[in-house]
């Protein structure tokens, strides 16, 4: 919407956690027990396929490189 990419907008109150794959299910279960973690989910996986590059796949299955933010982050209105 409006040509803005949600991945580069301020998003307060969210957590992205990185954990070993074998620990992820127990961490997720613990997060889901808290009212603020009810919607917690595993959304990605770190691989060695493309060292130093982050790729993302959208809901339609399209894969793209997640580029570093060029310029300033969109200002927050608060």
pLDDT tens for each residue of 35-71: 999 999 998 888 888 888 888 888 898 988 988 877 6
Question: What percent of the chain is modeled with pLDDT above 90?
Answer: 36
Check the CA dihedral 59-64-65-71 and report its sign. Answer: negative
| Structure confidence at residue 30 as a pLDDT band (50, 70, 90) | very high
- Where does residue 31 rank: exposed (0-12), middle (13-18), buried (19+ CB within 10 A)? middle
pLDDT at 77 over 80: no
Check the CA dihedral 26-32-37-39 and report its sign. Answer: positive
- Where does residue 37 rank: exposed (0-12), middle (13-18), buried (19+ CB within 10 A)? middle
């Amino acid at each position: 919407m409006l040509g803005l990419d949600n991945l580069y907008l301020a998003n307060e109150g969210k957590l992205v956690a990185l954990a070993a794959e074998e620990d992820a299910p127990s961490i997720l279960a613990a997060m889901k027990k808290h009212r603020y973690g009810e919607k917690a989910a595993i959304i990605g996986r770190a691989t060695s396929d493309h060292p130093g590059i982050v790729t993302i796949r959208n809901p339609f299955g399209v894969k793209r490189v997640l580029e570093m933010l060029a310029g300033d982050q969109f200002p927050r209105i608060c």
